[in-house]
Structures are given as C-alpha cells and as structure tokens.
Amino acid sequence: MYRVINRTLIVLLGILFIMPLVWTVLTSFTPSIEVITRMNPFSVKNPTFGNYLAAWETIPFLQYYLNTIIIVLGILAVQMITVTLAAYAFARLTFIGSSFIFIVFLVQIMIPPDILIFPNYAIMKELNLIDSKLAIMLPYWASSFGVFLLRQTFKQIPVDLDDATKVDGCKWWQTLFYVYLPSAKPTYVAFGLISVSTHWSNFMWPLIVTNSVESRPLTVGIAIFAQSFETGAQWGTVTAATVLVILPLLAAFFFFQRQFVDSFMHSGLK
C-alpha cells in the first residue's frame, strides 16, 4: 500500500517539476493577445512561430550566440591546458612545498571568482579590458576544481607506463599526450560538460564587465531584453527568447543524459 502512495506522490512531484518548462514552451507558441485572455494556461488554440520571429528580430541573437560560444570555448580551451599540466605535477612529481601549493589551489574552491566581482572589475579596468570577451574569460582560466578532478584520475594510471614510454624515448609531453590524455578521457568529458554549462549560464560577471552587443553573452542580452517589458503582452516574446537560450543546454542534456548526470556527480569529488 505504502508503495502505491509513494509512487503516486513521486509521479505528481515529477509532473510538478516539469510544469514550468512545459508551460514556457507552450506559451512561446501562443499568440501574444491570447496569453493573458486564455482561461486554461496550457491551451494553445492558434500555435504560432510569431514570438520566435519577434524575439529573433528584437534581440541580436546571432551575435549573442556567437559571443557565448566564443567565451565558453575560450575558457574551456585554456582550462584544458592549465588543468592538465598542474594535475600532472600534483599526481606524478615530488616537489618542495607541494602541500602548500595544494592549499593555494584549494583557496579558489573556497573563494570562487564569482564573489570577487568588485576587485576583479577594478583589475580589468587597470588592464584596460573592460567590455571585452577576454575580461569575461580571464578569471576562469585557472580551475582548481579541474586540477583536483584530473589529479585523481592521473594517479590511477600505472607509473610503469610512464617509465616504459621514457625507455622508448618519449618526451614528457609525448607521454602526457599519448598516455595520460586518452586514459583520462571520461574525466575530460565530465569536466568539459560542467565547465561549458556553468559558463553558458554565468551572468553577474559578464553583466559587470561588458556594455556592448559585441561582447555580451546570451544571458546578459536576454536579461536586458526582459528588463524592458513587464506587461503580459510580451510574455510570448520573452518565453520564446528564454527557450532559445536554454534549448542548446536541454538538447545536449537530452542526447548525453548519462554523461551529464555522471559528470555532475564528479563535481562531488575533492
């Protein structure tokens, strides 16, 4: 009996959780005039693409998409390099002050760049980088989380392999490239998914350091757009714009569900 009750509860909870998304998608296909007047908020009598066309015309989506993609990939590309090198040092080398350096890295996990917005803004101003994509990316080019994640994986690779490649005359970077990179592939995928989805969503920092269409990411663009409307008549356009921002994330989640859930589970490791 208790099974039936709990099963019912969990299904109801599931429906409750999916409701905001369903409603948003349906509203984005509803003509603006009907959004307010309709009695049932889930009925779409005359489905239309009008909201999407309106959103696409009012917001420079193409530019914003491009900006977000450049920022997200720019962060990931540099992170991959810094993280791999540091993780290798931590996993395989003996050096003086290693525990101290370990704590230095740990500090970034305790104090994430997201809360240093004010002093970092001052630094970007000194560097003359305000209103550039570079300013958005720079604070995230070191990732202690990535270093610790990868260090764990690197440690599990047999040291014998290292020595074997050395005997074969491999340079250290060849060992890294041909032994470590392929063996740690799942970890790289996990880190990549977390990094990309985090920075796709980032808002406060880009909001502060940008002030032009050329450097703004999607999140900031859509927030500025949504700010200009408060009346119900614009619900269709705003929901359509929202769907356009989250669609790539949801599509990626739909196709790589397993990897996504596994990756986010990794964010629990220290």
Interface with another protein in residues 174-233 (CB under 8 A): 197, 200-204, 207-208, 219, 222-223, 226-227, 232
CA distance 25 to 239: 7
Report CA Rg, the chain. Answer: 23
Interface with another protein in residues 34-93 (CB under 8 A): 36, 41, 81-83, 85-86, 88-90, 93
Which CB sits closer to another protein, 34 or 48?
A: 34
Min dist. Cβ of residue 153 to another protein (A): 16
Which residue from 11, 53, 77, 159 is in contact with another protein, where contact means CB under 8 A?
11
* Burial per residue of 40-50, b for 16 or more beta-carbon CB atoms within 10 angstroms, e otherwise: eeeebeeebeb
Assign residue 94 a region (left: φ > 0; alpha: ψ between -120 and 50; beta: otherwise).
beta
Q: How many residues bind another protein (CB under 8 A)?
A: 92
Min dist. Cβ of residue 238 to another protein (A): 6
Min dist. Cβ of residue 185 to another protein (A): 20
**Contact between 265 and another protein per CB under 8 A:** yes
CA 145 to chain centre: 14
Task: Find tokens 């720079």 and name the residue.
Answer: 138
Min dist. Cβ of residue 49 to another protein (A): 19
Interface stretch with another protein, choices 46-54, 55-63, 179-187, 260-268 (CB under 8 A): 260-268
Name every residue whose Cβ is closer than 8 Å to that of residue 172 and which is 6 or more positions away in sequence. none
Min dist. Cβ of residue 20 to another protein (A): 5
Q: 54 and 233 in contact (C-beta within 8 Å)?
A: no
Which residue from 54, 69, 73, 101 is in contact with another protein, where contact means CB under 8 A?
101
Which CB sits closer to another protein, 53 or 261?
A: 261
Task: Find tokens 């250290």 and name the residue.
Answer: 172
By CB neighbour count within 10 A (0-12 exposed, 13-18 middle, 19+ buried), where does 153 fall? Answer: buried
Taking each helix axis from N to C end, the angle separating 185-201 and 61-92, rounded to the nearest 10 degrees, works out to 140
CA distance 175 to 185: 15
Which residue from 23, 49, 177, 255 is in contact with another protein, where contact means CB under 8 A?
23
Min dist. Cβ of residue 234 to another protein (A): 10
In the chain, the amino acid numbered 74 is: G
CA distance 175 to 172: 5
Which CB sits closer to another protein, 7 or 185?
A: 7
Interface with another protein in residues 135-164 (CB under 8 A): 138-139, 141-144, 147
Interface with another protein in residues 102-131 (CB under 8 A): 102, 104-105, 107-123
